[in-house]
Amino acid sequence: MDQAPKKLFIKTYGCQMNVYDSERMAEALGASGYVTTEVQDEADMVLLNTCHIREKAAEKVYSDLGRLRPLKEAKPDLKIGVAGCVAQAEGEEILTRMPLVDLVVGPQSYHRLPEMEARVGQGGRAVDTDFPEDDKFEALKTRPKAKRGPTAFLTVQEGCDKFCAFCVVPYTRGAEVSRPAARIVSEARGLVEAGVREITLLGQNVNAWHGDLEGAEGGLAALVGQLARIDGLERIRYTTSHPNDMDEGLIAAHGHEAKLMPYLHLPVQSGSDRILKAMNRKHTAEQYLRLIERIRAARPDILLTSDFIVGFPGETDADFEATMDLVREVRYGSAYSFKYSPRPGTPAAERKTQVEPSVMDDRLQRLQKLLGDQQRAAQEAMVGRETTVLFEKPGRLPGQMVGKSEHLFAVHVAAPESLRGEIARVRITASGPNSLAGELAG
């Protein structure tokens, strides 16, 4: 009699790279007989794939682990693992604080999950937070051919060498590493064969990608060009970028590569040169603004988004107003904004000139109002225009489909479900709080 498959539940925190990593972890454990489940209580193994970027990230993970205690007591054979950046930062401390945890694996070692799971099955506990020399992507190079949705993430680069004063990524993800182009192209072909029409290239600093392209070094623009030759791949995006790695070739690609979508997430963090220097960003506000000019000259209709931190240690009212001025000049389509929170082990956490929480709250509200106004203006400017939409899933209303426009706006359209996975022209008829409505054109 065949043994029933074991069930794996993964909770993913944080960024798109963690979403991609969770997919690969599920694939790795599939070799050990696991299938994924959306129901935590029926799982034989629970993995928390963690992020260390936001405030009190570790404590939130410990809180979630505490909520797993009754399930572990009810199912003593349940395996519980912590993966990702909190695992990398905390290591053995997780096993000490939480005896219910069976394994801890960092983001560079998850290809070793099957052997770690086997060790736990023999009654042990396992920790692997090394930065191994072996390539985790090569160890996991074969992806399942099962039918997929029309969009997918594809990691091309990991790690960061920038060492921004507020950021833990260089410590949890390590130095910048670029995957070889041939492996990226092969994985992209496999995704397209499985039904993917749009791929988002991922990296902590994705535009720092420099891999081997047919025996020559090439930047991200060259990789985009190779991927654009894949029949059936209709759209390419990439995130997240650093302004200092936006080279002229990549800027030009936004103007001449039809499959590269007119959307760019380019974090700036602050509009104050004094704060940018304290953050170790290695660019000025003026350099960022002139870069935006060159990008818009190459692709006038590009939609720009960004990240902002308010209340960085030492930020004055004048520094904050400089950020507001930069936002007014750029005119973003949307942006992410956060209050500064000290991350243990980063240089900024050591500084004594912390901004009062009430001041940070006021600044964040003012910034978010301005960014919200700009997002609404960008959406309303689409009304009456035609765009292409890649339909991904049914909407909440009967007979409705939802997809993404070229500029990554969610668009709701009365359309048959047969359009799932297809790209169609849509005329935008209305703008809502966080999405657009449209009708099929022609």
Mean pLDDT of the chain: 91
Per-residue confidence (pLDDT) for residue 246, from 0 to 100: 96
Residue 250 is labelled as binding a ligand: no
Residue 424 is labelled as binding a ligand: no
Domain boundary among 261, 279, 298: 261
Picking from 80, 109, 112, 110, the residue whose alpha carbon sits closest to that of residue 94 is: 80
Picking from 226, 30, 47, 12, the residue whose alpha carbon sits closest to that of residue 146 is: 30
Residues 69 and 168 in one domain: no
CA distance 260 to 227: 10
More confident residue, 301 or 127: 301
Per-residue confidence (pLDDT) for residue 14, from 0 to 100: 76
Domain boundary among 194, 227, 261: 261
Per-residue confidence (pLDDT) for residue 52, from 0 to 100: 73
Per-residue confidence (pLDDT) for residue 91, from 0 to 100: 83
Residues 234 and 206 in one domain: yes
Provide the β-strand partners of residue 201: 154, 238
Residue 130 is labelled as binding a ligand: no
- Given a cut of 90, whether residue 343 has pLDDT beyond it is no
**pLDDT-based confidence at 175, cuts 50/70/90?**
confident
Percent of the chain whose predicted confidence (pLDDT) is above 90: 69
**pLDDT-based confidence at 1, cuts 50/70/90?**
very low
Q: What is the pLDDT of residues 256-301, one digit of tens each?
A: 999 999 999 999 999 999 999 999 999 999 999 999 999 999 999 9
Residues 203 and 296 in one domain: no
Per-residue confidence (pLDDT) for residue 295, from 0 to 100: 98
Q: CA-based angle 352:358:320, to the nearest 5?
A: 70
pTM comes to 0.82
More confident residue, 315 or 341: 315
- Expressed as residue numbers, the domain containing 405 is 386-440
Residue 408 is labelled as binding a ligand: no
Residue 410 forms part of a structural domain: yes
Residues 113 and 166 in one domain: no
Provide the β-strand partners of residue 238: 201
Residue 15 is labelled as binding a ligand: yes
Q: Are 14 and 50 in contact (CB under 8 A)?
A: yes
Q: Which residue shows structure tokens 């001041």? A: 359
Q: Check the CA dihedral 329-330-336-342 and report its sign.
A: negative
**Phi, psi for 181 (deg, rounded to 5):** -60, -40
Domain count, the chain: 4
Q: Are 298 and 255 in contact (CB under 8 A)?
A: yes
DSSP labels, 266-283: ---B-S-HHHHHHTT---
Residues 14 and 116 in one domain: yes
Residue 437 is labelled as binding a ligand: no
